[in-house]
Amino acid sequence: MGVYTNCHVLLELLFFAASLLRSCSALERFSSNYVFGDSLVDVGNNNYIATVAKANYLPNGLDFPPRLNPTGRFCNGRMVVDIIGQELGWRTFTPAYLAPTTVGDVVLDGVNYASAASGILNGTGRNYGGRINMDCQIDNFAKTRQSIISKMGSSAASEHLGNALFSVTTGSNDFINNYLLSPTTAVFVTPETFVNQMIARFNIQLRRLYDMGARTIVVVNVGPIGCIPDQRDKNPLARDSCVGLPNQLAVLFNKKLKALIMDLNSNLAQSKFLYADVYSIVSDIIQNYQSYGFENFDSACCRLAGNYGGLAPCILLSTVCPNRSKYVFWDPFHPTDATNFIIAKRLLDGGSNDIYPTNIRQLMQAN
């Protein structure tokens, strides 16, 4: 009888310890990961729609694990959100919403809704054909949310989403594939007016996510788009410098975006919006590329046409640099896996100049 009692007590202690470990583990990671945005974070949604903006063919995915795996990512390897997920301990990459396997309990771990060529404004990216704009991405999340409520009940679903990590990476295409694409728009609409339209729409979209239960939202600003190979080749008068107007537009938008993030944090209860300053991070990488181990900061690794490889997408006929880790840019628009790794690490662990008011890891530990 004594042996039985001792064993029983021991088992109870073991169960208690296991429960405690699970509790500690939950505090060290977010419940799930929900991703919104454009081709910088699209992991394959555009594979399933009628669009020119696809990357589900080699040499895209050349270094994606396992190698030679063109999933639809516009990169030789991983996107920033993939790397952040790995660093935070998720066992698998967050799947594309439109993938036929993203059903059932899979959605409880997170979903990626991003779509290449999309933007904040619904008209952005129409030159590529199909794309899932930000409003439609949030509509798709609403369907996922309803599925989660059906599985868990309203209260548990609310807690689950409240403990999830959300991220939004959008805005670049509103300039590259909208404002800068049409000379008429630039003549009749001032940059200030256009950016104000973007911010007003984005405000509505971010508040919608909040209203549906999102509480921790990383909002990524627009990077130095005047420095990408696409803009360098399309504006040869800039010579070896970054192109001025696209970067000026990005800076104008980013200034207003940071003010919006601060306003949302002040006025939405329990909200934790983080302003991710990728513009500053990528600018630093370009200006100090050698200190980061890069040998090339202005040209596409996967190139077909243009002095900087910026006049054609990355396709099977393209020439690929032998060492992708030495290039900042993969193709005319997108960073390499090596650059994405640096960006991800600085969003996870960087100071307030990288991500404001706190980094992702600090926020996770504070919860």
Over residues 241-255, the pLDDT tens digits come to 999 999 999 999 999
Query: What is the largest distance, in Å, between two alpha-carbon atoms of the chain?
Result: 90
Lowest-confidence region among 83-87, 89-93, 151-155: 89-93
Over residues 300-326, the mean pLDDT reads 97
Mean pLDDT of the chain: 92
Q: What is the pLDDT of residues 139-160, one digit of tens each?
A: 999 999 999 999 999 999 999 9
Averaged pLDDT for residues 196-216: 98
pLDDT band at 108 (very low <50, low <70, confident <90, very high): very high
Q: Is the pLDDT of residue 134 over 60?
A: yes
The answer, yes or no, to whether residue 232 has pLDDT greater than 90, is yes
Q: What one-character-per-residue DSSP string does 244-284 give? A: HHHHHHHHHHHHHHHHHHHHHHHHSTT-EEEEE-HHHHHHH
Whether residue 21 has pLDDT greater than 80: no
* CA dist., res. 253 & res. 219, Å (int): 13
Distances (CA, A) of 37 to 4, 152, 320, 355: 58, 27, 27, 18
Place 9 in a pLDDT band, splitting at 50, 70 and 90. Answer: very low
DSSP one-letter code for 306: S
Does residue 7 have a pLDDT over 50? no
Whether residue 237 is predicted with pLDDT greater than 80 in this model: the reply is yes
- With a CB cutoff of 8 Å and minimum separation 6, the contacts of 18 are none
The neighbour count for residue 339, using CB atoms within 10 Å, is 26
Average pLDDT for residues 39-65, to the nearest whole number?
Answer: 97
List, in order of start, the domains of the chain with CATH numbers. Answer: 27-366 (3.40.50.1110)
Predicted confidence at residue 85, as pLDDT, reads 95
Residue positions annotated with a catalytic role: 39, 331, 334
Percentage above 70 pLDDT, the chain: 92
User: pLDDT grade, residue 367 (50/70/90)?
Assistant: low
Burial of 239 (0-12, 13-18, 19+ CB in 10 A): exposed
Q: End-to-end alpha-carbon separation of the chain, Å?
A: 45
* DSSP β-ladder status, 319-320 and 302-303: antiparallel
What is the pTM (predicted TM-score) of this model?
0.91
| Confidence (pLDDT) at 240 | 83
Pair 50, 62: CB distance under 8 Å: no
CA distance 160 to 206: 18
* pLDDT value for 91: 86
- Which distant-in-sequence residues (6+ apart) come within 8 Å of 197 by Cβ? 121
Asked whether the predicted pLDDT for residue 339 surpasses 70, the reply is: yes
In this prediction, residues 102-109 reach a mean pLDDT of: 96
Distance CA 57, CA 327 (A): 20
Encoded amino acid at 58, one letter:
L
Query: How crowded is residue 95: how many other Cβ atoms within 10 Å of its Cβ?
Result: 21
Mean pLDDT, to the nearest integer, of 71-94? 96
Instruction: Fill in the amino acid letter for 90.
Output: W
- Smallest CA-to-CA distance from 286 within 319, 245, 241, 341 is with 241
pLDDT at 130 over 90: yes
**Confidence check: pLDDT of 183 > 90:** no
pLDDT of residue 28: 55
Q: Which residue has the higher pLDDT, 280 or 26?
A: 280
**How would you classify residue 270: left for phi > 0, otherwise alpha for psi between -120 and 50, otherwise beta?**
left
